[in-house]
Amino acid sequence: MQNSDALALTAALLAAAGDLTRRIDEGVRARGFSDVRPAHGFAFARLAPDGATVTELAAHLGVTKQAASQLVDELVRKGYVERGPHPADARARLVVLTERGRACTRVAEEVAVEVVRGWGNVLGEGEMSVLRDGLGRIAPYGPVRPAW
């Protein structure tokens, strides 16, 4: 692959990821969650299954525990998460999504499906399958982090 091809692919991937993030943010805001921003969505992705401690959330987001704690404080004030006792560690607090947080997450997922469906309309089912499979093979496994 030539350098120019690699740079063009890099630009296209970054543009697609940025556009996806922007469109999810716009869709979530348009559907009644006007007080969230993309960084909240990256936190929600970690909290959605079973909750997490602030330390776990910080590691997921690639930020300090202080920054994660400030984000959690903000999300508690807005009603998206709550802190509670940790079921396995009496010293730790578990941060979990509230019903409002789960509703916001569902809306974000719906918007993401709409965006990807639009990509499918442009590329067709075959190319979408190739794209999904190829990206699945090269994308690193692990947390999806915001670009701070």
**pLDDT tens digit string along 81-127?**
999 999 888 898 999 999 999 999 999 999 999 999 999 999 999 99
CA distance 25 to 17: 12
Asked whether 101 and 44 are in contact (CB, 8 A), the reply is yes
Q: pLDDT-derived band of residue 40, with 50, 70 and 90 as boundaries? A: very high
The predicted pLDDT at position 147 comes to: 55
Average pLDDT value for residue range 21-45: 94
Average pLDDT value for residue range 60-77: 95
The predicted pLDDT at position 89 comes to: 87
Q: pLDDT-derived band of residue 145, with 50, 70 and 90 as boundaries? A: low
CA distance 105 to 103: 5
Three-state SS for 1? Answer: coil
